[in-house]
Chains A and B, each alone.
Chain A
Amino acid sequence: MKRARVIGDGNLAWTLSAGLAQEGFQMGGDAGAVLALVVVLDHGRLIPMSLVEGGIAAWRERFDLTLAAARRDIEAARASLAGEGAIAVLVPVEGMTGAAGLTAYLAAVEGVRALVKSLGQAWAADGVRINCIALEAHVLHNDPNALRRVAIPLAAQLLSAGHPLSGTTLVAGGGVMAP
């Protein structure tokens, strides 16, 4: 039996958890695979704001908190693995392209992707793989149908035992090509 666990909460986590169950994963408990949710800001807080307009207070709220939550979730995912396993981290694809007004949030996202690359190397010897799945932010937040259609099959593949990838980002954003 394939076991998996979703780190995170809210509708997004529920949708992912239900989707992975449909893909044949037994959800919950000590996991052989973990889906870590790194999308910590709700859509309402992603109102574009220029770096200068927001100042350091907005930067700290968006960058520092996003990164801290991502680190917490990734560490929780790693701790919940029973021996070897895999972690998939969902990130908005906009981090790869940049977007005006979302500087702090997307800087944190790109920091998370570099962290995942590092951990992919560092944890390989322990049999732990970690990758990112990059989706358009509106899909992550507002489009559960697209999430089921695109993200869940990809996550199911990445979280399956024996999958070779680690430290990479699979881009599943409509029309966005990996740079």
Chain B
Amino acid sequence: MSAPAGGSLAGRVVLVTGAGQGLGRGIALACAERGAAVAVTALSEAEAAVVAGEISGEGGRALAIGCDVTDQDQVSAAVAATLDAFGRLDGLVHNANSRFSGVGATLATVTDEAWDDQIAVGLHGAVFCATAALPGLRDSGGAMVIMSSLAGLNGAAQMPAYAMVKGAQRGLMKSLAREWGPLGVRVNAVAPSGVTPALEAYMERTPGAREHLTSRSALNRLGEARGDIGAAVAFLLGPDSRFITGQTLVVDGGAVTT
């Protein structure tokens, strides 16, 4: 693949957090495939560099940045580095998740560390991203996408803290869409169901999990990080979604219908 000159994101610049692996990597690759220059940020700069190298290897433009989204200074620096490298910012995707995100715990057993870290990464990180990105997004008439979850829509009995964070992200998105609409900046969320390394590992060690998860989808398959989830995010960042804001796009093959 080489980045097409006339792709839907040609000439645009997108920053993706948590892009070192999984869905974030898929989103970064999908945006680059459509012509965007991509700032690939991850907690591990080495992981970010690998994904940036993949994009470069496919003929795209990318910048690898190590960034802890719970540190406001690091987020501001990542946005500044993106503007320095590419001269503009058209899209920001907040995809980073806490390391506790997939850990099951009831409300009574969830630790303060897990509760606080999920809020710090999912919500505070989103606020830091939004605050740092707004001037660039306002200048470009850009868009922000927050990666929420089906748990934020439906709840999750075994992961109430995770569901709370994902629901709160949707609340943040809705109010921010109203706040930034007059500025010409759109804000949406995606509730994805896609294959990630963590999900692959879970399905490998859990008999029947792959069949169960697949059967929930009306399309009878699991989503691909790049081709399905990444493509949907790229749509929300691109010109064809210019009248869409304040929405949660469910990208799960029809497991949930709206």
Q: Which applies to chain B's interface (DSSP): helix, strand, loop or mixed?
A: helix
- Which residues in window 119-166 of B have CB below 8 A to A? 119, 123-124, 127-128, 130-131, 134, 151-160, 163-166
| Mask of A110-150 contacts with B, CB within 8 angstroms, 1/0 | 11111111111110000000000000000000000000000
Q: How many residues from B make CB contacts under 8 Å with A? A: 40
For residue B231, give the distance in angstroms from its CB to the closest CB of chain A.
25
| Mask of B100-131 contacts with A, CB within 8 angstroms, 1/0 | 00000011100000000001000110011011
* Interface segment, one of B15-23, B29-37, B85-93, B167-175: B167-175
Contact of B130 among A51, A63, A98 (CB under 8 A): A51
Check: B72 CB closer than 8 A to any chain A CB: yes
Residues of chain A contacted by B166 (CB below 8 angstroms)? 114
Check: B176 CB closer than 8 A to any chain A CB: yes
Residues of chain A contacted by B152 (CB below 8 angstroms)? 114
Contact count band on A: 35 or more
Check: A174 CB closer than 8 A to any chain B CB: no
| A64 and B175 in contact, given A111-B167, A121-B155 (Cβ under 8 angstroms) | no
| Mask of A59-99 contacts with B, CB within 8 angstroms, 1/0 | 10001100100010011000000000000000000011111
Residues of B within 8 A of A (CB): 72, 106-108, 119, 123-124, 127-128, 130-131, 134, 151-160, 163-179, 246
The 4 closest A-B pairs by CB, nearest first: A114-B167, A110-B171, A117-B155, A98-B174
